Amino acid sequence: MKKSTHPTGEIMVFSGAGQPLEARSYQVPRLKAGEVLVANLYTTLCGSDLHSFSGETERKNTICIGP
């Protein structure tokens, strides 16, 4: 019998100003009928993301910034 493995991905998580971004693995969602999964090769950060990273703007929750 073949062992089934579900793919995982990696995201960078912002936990607070002055803290390094943290790499976290996550399980890629299983697709339902009619859904597609798009591979993101590149991303950008907007000005509000940079303000949060530097501490100029406060974020209340741990978030994934950029996408």
Q: E strand or H helix at 54, and its extent?
A: helix 47-54
Q: What is the pLDDT of residue 52?
A: 75
Q: What is the pLDDT of residue 26?
A: 85
Model confidence pLDDT, tens digit, residues 2-47:
565 778 888 888 777 788 888 889 888 889 999 998 888 887 777 7
Model confidence pLDDT, tens digit, residues 42-67:
877 777 777 777 778 776 665 665 55
Q: What is the pLDDT of residue 32?
A: 94
Q: What is the pLDDT of residue 42?
A: 81
Task: Please state, in angstroms and rounded to a whole number, the distance separating the CA atoms of residues 24 and 41.
Answer: 17
